[in-house]
Amino acid sequence: MSFGIPFFPQEASSEAGRIDALFYTLLAFSAVLGLALAGLVVGYAVKYRVGSKADRTGKRSRSLPLEMSWTIASLVIAFIFFGWGAALFVRRDHPPADALEISGLGKQWMWEFRQPGGQREINELHVPVGKAVVVSLAAQDVIHSFYVPAFRIKQDAVPGRTTHIWFIATQPGRYHLFCAQYCGTQHSEMGGWVIAMAPEQYAAWLNSQGEGETLAASGEKLFRALGCSGCHGASSKVRA
């Protein structure tokens, strides 16, 4: 049916179906409205064509109930779409409490990820299928944007703050990861793959990567190396 054109791109996360439902509803609603308007344009063009006997006196009639009904109907429809979209936004900012937390760092021009056990990857992100994953994003230089079309998620990574995005991968596979914010010369090459694996395979993959240093452990090293611990450590003599 699609003639090789991806009219309906793959849905591979818990969020994809929800977002598509809103998108396709809006698209269908706009199509119906657009066709109705186009029909009126054509209808009136025919009715008032040169030489037709249509009434051109310009008499107007008003109907308060009619005017009120289309105003109220428009308002209600607009609020339905607003409420629907707002609910999706609220959901996207509330990851499940048991989500696996993976940290992601955007830098010119690559994505670096660190698994909860400290295993690092570049331009690849391995995740288990069926488990909520929250990616906490930071940027080292300029604004980047973590974008996985098959998951229907996108979140900017902004210097100086941490942002979050979550999803549950629903099907094993490899999914394109992009940077969706122009971030310099090699922006178009900044991307990679999200690899969704069955939980057992993910566990095996984690094991094969060996132990890495967790973010907390790296931070503690910096804390000592830069002398922060002199004043801010639990047992330090000086109090800053």
Q: Which is nearer to Cu ion, 121 or 202 (CB)?
A: 121
Q: At what angle do helices 16-47 and 64-92 cross, to 10 degrees?
A: 160
How far, in Å, are 63, 123, 218, 237 from residue 113 at the CA level?
63, 8, 14, 37
Tokens representing 131 are 């488990």
Q: Which is nearer to Cu ion, 95 or 191 (CB)?
A: 191
Q: Which is nearer to Cu ion, 129 or 179 (CB)?
A: 179
183 contacts Cu ion (rule: CB under 5 A)? yes
Q: What is the amino acid identity at position 10?
A: Q
**Minimum gap (Å) between residue 190 Cβ and Cu ion:** 4
- Only segment of 40-48, 158-166, 168-176, 182-190 that touches Cu ion (CB under 5 A): 182-190
Q: How many residues bind Cu ion (CB under 5 A)?
A: 4
By CB under 5 A, the residues from 124 to 153 that bind Cu ion are: 144
Rounded-to-integer distance, Cα 31 and Cα 224, Å: 62
Q: What is the DSSP letter of 14?
A: T
Q: Which is nearer to Cu ion, 109 or 175 (CB)?
A: 109
Residue whose entry in the numeric block shows the structure tokens 């900044």: 190
Please work out, in degrees rounded to the nearest 5, the angle formed at the alpha carbon of residue 126 by the alpha carbons of 89 and 173.
85
Q: Which is nearer to Cu ion, 129 or 165 (CB)?
A: 165
180 contacts Cu ion (rule: CB under 5 A)? no
**Minimum gap (Å) between residue 48 Cβ and Cu ion:** 54
Q: Which is nearer to Cu ion, 9 or 184 (CB)?
A: 184
The dihedrals phi and psi of 238, each to the nearest 5 degrees, come to -85, 140
Contact by Cβ (8 Å): 177, 192 = yes
Q: Which residue in the set 135, 150, 153, 179 belongs to the binding site for Cu ion (CB under 5 A)?
A: 179
**Residue in 92, 130, 83, 118 with CA at minimum distance from that of residue 210:** 118
- Only segment of 37-45, 164-172, 174-182, 232-240 that touches Cu ion (CB under 5 A): 174-182
Q: Residue 197's beta-bridge partner residues?
A: 128
Q: What is the DSSP letter of 31?
A: H
92 contacts Cu ion (rule: CB under 5 A)? no
16 contacts Cu ion (rule: CB under 5 A)? no
155 contacts Cu ion (rule: CB under 5 A)? no
Q: Which is nearer to Cu ion, 12 or 180 (CB)?
A: 180
Q: Which residue in the set 190, 195, 196, 197 belongs to the binding site for Cu ion (CB under 5 A)?
A: 190
In sequence order, what are the residues at sequence separation of 6 or more whose Cβ sits closer than 8 angstroms to the Cβ of residue 9?
149, 150
**Which residues in this chain contact Cu ion in the complex, by CB under 5 A?**
144, 179, 183, 190
